Structure 1
Amino acid sequence: MMKRNVVLGVVAASVLSACTMMGQPRTLAFKHNPTPADPMAAGTAMVMTKADGMVTTTLTLTGLTPGKTYASHYHAFGPDSNTDPCASNGPVTVGFPPFTADASGRGTTSVTNEMAKIAGDLGAYINVHHGDALSVVPVCAPIKMTKG
């Protein structure tokens, strides 16, 4: 009986450890950038770390232009700002698959990648761009607010 309790204790500890490593999903709100594009655009980025160390990020957006194609990316901090990652013009570190807003202006996309590609300053913010004009960025979700 003692041996069985020890084995059950080890199994329970392993299960709890796996759940802790996965953690709770982190949901971040997009903010509208100072642009007239898609003035009602809003949404969330849900970031979930899995037990294997991979990270799945799902973007859920509303208020987009119906039928328009969008591109989304994780960006690292750039040189332009220490206080607003969305204004820092950092390089792309992870790209999401492109998506097209439905007739109601809703869109979603998801990507799974290694934690190393978004850890630290590498995943400082997520931008959603117009697919045909990457310079148009209606919304941004800051992941990390300061460098370092």
Structure 2
Amino acid sequence: MATTNTITPKVIDAPQDLKELLNLSKFLESHDSPALLLGPDGEQVSLPLAVYEVLRQVATAMERGSSVSVQPLDRQLTTQQAAELLGISRNTLIRLLDEHELAFERLGASRHRRLRLSDVLAYRERKRQDRGSRLNEMTRQAFEDGLYDVDAADYQSALRAARKG
């Protein structure tokens, strides 16, 4: 039996013809409880609620044209895989590891580090929330400073003056 560390991720692209996917997505969205899975031989099996929810999310993502991959959260990633998932360079990721921003494990006595997918996703969500909070604060300050009432030309002029001084 394969362990979670040996699972090879497989990314599935959305189909070119979205008609069947749209029908599936509409069906899944119109039902709150799991459906039956019908095999080619006519055998039926009930989908567990958790699997049904994953299927709904996959269908919704693919309907939007997104590629999908379903991974166990305890899957371990290499530093390169984690960096790619976060959209940063491997060197930046290593710096984050050295600064204890992200948890990691070492493989035996080697220098190789592994990160859990769940930790990487949690870090990405924290950063997303931080960015949102900072943007909200900048918007609040700009509103309080009356910058939303300033004409664009006046703003550009003030910005040029500020840069010179």
Q: TM-score, normalised by structure 1?
A: 0.22
**Higher relative contact order, structure no. (Cα contacts within 8 Å, ≥ 6 residues apart):** 1
Instruction: Identify the structure with the greater helix proportion.
Output: 2
Question: Normalising by structure 2, what TM-score?
Answer: 0.20
Larger strand proportion of the pair? 1
